[in-house]
Amino acid sequence: MNIYSDERLINLGIISGTVGRDFGSARDKEIAAKIFESLGIPLSKILGLKQVHEDKIININSDEDLAAYKSQNLHEADGWLLSLPQTGVMILTADCVPLYLWSADGKYVSLTHCGWRGIVQELPKKAAEMIKAKTQEKLQAYIGPHIKDCCFEVKEDVASRFPKETIIQRKNKIFVDLDKAIILQLTSAGVDEKEIQTGCHCQCTCCNKKDFFSYRRDGTKDALLSFVYKL
């Protein structure tokens, strides 16, 4: 099973990563359960949500937060802020960005599902500001596999919602660099750019059919699983 993760999180004792397509589509609940079983993570400890391409982030930082989460049946959001031990969170992606953001001491970790709509609503910046409001520790980030600027072609209406630095013109076509868009937001929130890691272009979900699902390429609902579990 291929898992794309950041060694800095592993060194903090946080199990995390984005699982490649070799295990199957994580939209299938049985496959998702098998992924966590193979990692030795109790499925009962994993929290999920309904992604809605907006900017809401769910806090799971205390037993009270966890109880409030469990008291509701529907959780519409696109991100997590987690500090409660023995607890995990997950999202699904197929071209959107799984953004991992954490305090350097590992106490707080955020996982967000950043589609283009969430990015233009400043979801990455909001996640960084939420952590910075809780700790003086420096922040670190990992931008997981997603559709890269080689493939993320858009029309003018979408391009107009992004900073001009993120727009690329090729052969009368418009492309957006989502990595750069996220980095601009994180640095504006005080994250040192040197602390932000991005995958190479071989981690473009649209280009690399062998390793990743892609809604843009295939038009299916197959999805990759991204997760964080605090020991």
What pLDDT digit, counting tens, does each position of 91-100 carry?
Answer: 999 999 999 9
Instruction: State the Cα–Cα distance between residues 14 and 25, nearest whole angstrom.
Output: 23
Q: What is the pTM of this model?
A: 0.97
Q: Give per-residue pLDDT as tens, 207-231.
A: 999 999 999 999 999 999 999 999 9
pLDDT band with cut points at 50, 70 and 90 for residue 107: very high
Q: How high is the pLDDT of residue 199?
A: 87
Instruction: State the Cα–Cα distance between residues 110 and 124, nearest whole angstrom.
Output: 10
Superfamily grouping for domain 3-147+192-230: CNF1/YfiH-like putative cysteine hydrolases (3.60.140.10)
Instruction: State the Cα–Cα distance between residues 153 and 139, nearest whole angstrom.
Output: 31
Q: Is the pLDDT of residue 46 over 90?
A: yes
Instruction: State the Cα–Cα distance between residues 130 and 110, nearest whole angstrom.
Output: 9
DSSP result, 202-225: GGBTTT-TTT---HHHH-S---EE
Both structure tokens of 166 = 């993120």
